Amino acid sequence: MTLMSRIYDKAPKRATVGAVPEDQKWNFEATLKSRQVEELINLHWHRRLAFLVVRGLRHFPSISPNHVTLLAGFFGFLSAYSVWEAAPLIQEGVSGTGLMFLSAFLLLASVVLDCSDGMLARLSGKSSPIGTLMDGFTDTFVVICLLSSLYHLFASAMASAWTLPIMLFVAISLVVHTGLYDHYKGLYISYIDPNVDSVAELKSALVQEDAGFVQKAFGALYSNVYGLIFALAGGHEEAESEKSVSPELVSEALAPAMRKVSYVGLGTHMAVLYFTLILSAFSPTFALYFLVFTVGVVLNIWTILALKDWKRRELQLSDYHYLDHRVQLPAE
């Protein structure tokens, strides 16, 4: 899950602000955002496993969502390190199967924990701006480490000059896909619940005078580094006026497009990556082909089709004067 994903992941989605009422706690549905914006791989796999973790953590109230975030990052780093250590073994013809399977398991554990922190924050009411930023930068750190290790593995196994540009293409595609998913998820949430503007709340918290040094440092990194990347990928634009359309109508019109966009979120890419690790245990060359075809071809085409469908449905709403044009539509 990316930084902006965590912003909406931890924002309250009900009329009651704060922790989930006691009589609703420890129910899977209470840990979810709107099902319409959830990635299906998260909804039916990662979050199901994460819910088991969250239920176990209720017996340890001293463990905060931020602790879980750091643990997710640690497992992600161990996954990348396992791949790095397996590369010379595979190059020398020594089996690195065990390390590759271990790296896949560690990455799955990292993804599950990454889902758990937001679910725990939602149940416990322990959301915070610094936690939001930690989540996003932890995800970024894990992805960079893992893609770097995979490049090392593929370069060692194939010795091809094309390995670097191919992996850069995969990395750029991943950033664009996940950024666009978070962008349109944010738009959809703002359409169906105009009272939710957690982006503005996050920025306000980051610039307040009593913010600590660490919080300000993360805020500066967010504004200058991730903010630029996210903007290039189609980042969130704040609303300047109220929408006049009924949330029910927007939900009905845009839900199918939102479901299509949800297939290009970070959860989907992480699943592709741990399957790539499993395939690498048998054939790094085939694993690279699988990664490029899935992320660089299939998901790129899917992203274009999904955004065209979103634009078509949004234009239909605006043509009937249901929705004002305070948000710039994606270009053709």
* pLDDT attached to residue 221: 63
What value, to the nearest 5°, has the Cα angle with vertex 140 and ends 108 and 283?
50
pTM: 0.82
Cite the DSSP H helix spans in the chain: 3-9, 40-41, 47-57, 65-91, 97-124, 129-158, 163-192, 198-207, 213-221, 227-232, 247-261, 266-280, 284-291, 299-319
Residue extents of the structural domains in the chain: 3-319
Q: Which CATH number fits domain 3-319: 1.20.120.1760, 1.10.10.10, 3.40.50.150, 1.10.3080.10?
A: 1.20.120.1760
How far apart CA 14 and CA 224 sit, in angstroms, is: 32
Is the distance from CB of 8 to CB of 37 less than 8 angstroms? yes
Separation of CA 294 from chain center: 17
Q: Name which of 114, 143, 105 is nearest 275 in CA terms.
A: 105
How far apart CA 300 and CA 2 sit, in angstroms, is: 18
CA atoms within 13 A on the CB side of 164: 2
Q: Burial level of 210, CB count in 10 A (0-12/13-18/19+)?
A: exposed
DSSP string, 173-186: HHHHHHHHHHHHHH
* pLDDT attached to residue 308: 93
How far apart CA 19 and CA 35 sit, in angstroms, is: 19
Give the mean pLDDT per block of 10 residues along the chain (332 residues): 40 41 70 87 96 92 93 98 93 83 98 94 78 85 97 90 95 92 84 62 55 65 59 47 64 92 96 97 95 98 94 79 45 43
* pLDDT attached to residue 237: 47
Kindly report the length of the chain. Answer: 332
Is the distance from CB of 266 to CB of 99 less than 8 angstroms? no
* pLDDT attached to residue 18: 47
Q: Name which of 7, 314, 307 is nearest 186 in CA terms.
A: 7
Beta carbons within 10 angstroms of residue 232's beta carbon? 11
* pLDDT attached to residue 130: 74
How far apart CA 148 and CA 84 sit, in angstroms, is: 9
